[in-house]
Amino acid sequence: MPSVEIYINGTFYPKEDAKISVYDHGLLYGDGVFEGMRSYSGRIFRLNEHLVRLYESAKAIQLTIPMTQADLGEAAKATLAHNKLVDAYIRLVITRGAGSLGLDPAKTSNPQVIIIVDHIELYPKDKYENGLDIITAATIRNHPAALNPRIKSLNYLNNILARIEGKLAGCSEALMLNHRGEVAECTGDNIFTIRHGSLFTPPIDAGILEGITRNAVIELARSIGMNVIEAAMTRHDIYVADECFLTGSAAEVIPVVKLDGRPIGDGAVGKVTKQLSEAFHRFVRQASA
């Protein structure tokens, strides 16, 4: 693929020249918000839902995005078209902007609006065929009263620490529990199980990001007549589940076949997981932005 051009505040820069200030509070303090989306056949899947979540995240941290939601949506489409990409990963990043040292957001100006379109491969391809082997991280998900996981902020250290634990255990993903010891989500994906034909996933108040892929999969499952239950879940529920999978814009739908060394179901990728994954891939190509 030829080198991509990055959108920063309305201008396209070659990747090598796409730069922002080292005084930007996005870099200094992780002060900012972001979105990760995918385009299929040139259309951004659930663009509006991603924009709504981005503007809500920004509102929650009192960050004013210096353009309207509609204009940012158009800018995302323009960046995709500019790079002549049709099936891509799109990252929207809004930083607090450059300022003096010190946390005070009032000492910054000019939030930076960055749009990156590129390709992403979260997990090795064979994991989609054979499923992930994951462990439970000792690092719990951020307490909602500390940094609400519903805010998709530039501060991902909580997730990165859990991901490091996973890697040290030889796994490419890790399960994160919440402050109550319940299942929350994985480091960059939401989690689902299937048991006796019903689909289970933790509710939003488990302290998770309300995934856009999660919501799409819930809709799809309901549309094919599945019973979907959003309820608190413990690791026990995963140990005894028939099937398990993760969802995310970058990951799409990826099966999980082992948690903490214990095979889930018969230890192979589940039938319903495959069915939902195929339905998801059909759905994203039909859905318009």
Catalytic residue among 77, 84, 107, 152: 152
Of 90, 115, 81, residue with least CA distance to 250:
90
Q: Which is nearer to ligand PMP, 45 or 97 (CB)?
A: 45
Rounded distance, CA 152 to CA 92, Å?
A: 11
Applying CB under 6 A, the site for ligand PMP has a residue count of 15
Among 111, 144, 248, 265, binds ligand PMP (CB under 6 A): 248
Per CB under 6 A, the list member of 213, 241, 243, 276 interacting with ligand PMP is: 213
- Residue 234 DSSP one-character state: -
Q: Is 247 in the site for ligand PMP (CB under 6 A)?
A: yes
Spatial distance between the Cα atoms of 46 and 49, rounded to a whole number of angstroms: 5
**How does DSSP classify residue 24?**
B
Rounded to a whole number of angstroms, the minimum distance from the CB of residue 11 to ligand PMP is 27
**Residue 240 corresponds to which amino acid?**
V
152 part of the active site: yes
The residue (of 95 and 153) whose beta carbon lies closer to ligand PMP is 153
User: φ and ψ at 248, to 5 degrees?
Assistant: -175, 160
Of 111-150, binders to ligand PMP (CB under 6 A) are none
Q: Rule CB under 6 A: choose which of 18, 204, 232, 250 binds ligand PMP.
A: 250
Query: Within 13 Å of residue 151, how many CA atoms lie on the same side as its CB?
Result: 24
Is 188 one of the binding residues for ligand PMP (CB under 6 A)?
yes
Distance of alpha carbon 131 from alpha carbon 124, whole angstroms = 10
Whether the CB-CB separation of 281 and 235 falls below 8 Å is answered with no
At 231, phi and psi to the nearest 5?
A: -150, 155
CB of 16 to ligand PMP, least distance (A): 26
Q: Which of residues 9-38 bind ligand PMP (CB under 6 A)?
A: 36
Site for ligand PMP in 65-104 (CB under 6 A): none
Q: In what order do the strands lie in the sheet with 5-8?
A: 11-14, 5-8, 113-118, 88-95, 32-40, 43-44
Q: Does 209 bind ligand PMP (CB under 6 A)?
A: yes
Closest distance to ligand PMP from the beta carbon of 248 (Å): 4
- Is 249 a binder of ligand PMP (CB under 6 A)? yes
211 near ligand PMP, rule: CB under 6 A: yes
Q: How near is the Cβ of 175 to ligand PMP at its closest, in Å?
A: 12
Three-state SS at 126: helix
Q: Which of 189, 241, 245, 259 binds ligand PMP (CB under 6 A)?
A: 189
Closest by Cα among 92, 2, 113 to 39: 92
Give residue 238's Cα distance to chain centre.
Answer: 21
Q: What residues are labeled active site? A: 152
Chain residues that interact with ligand PMP, rule: CB under 6 A? 36, 159, 185, 188-190, 209, 211-214, 247-250
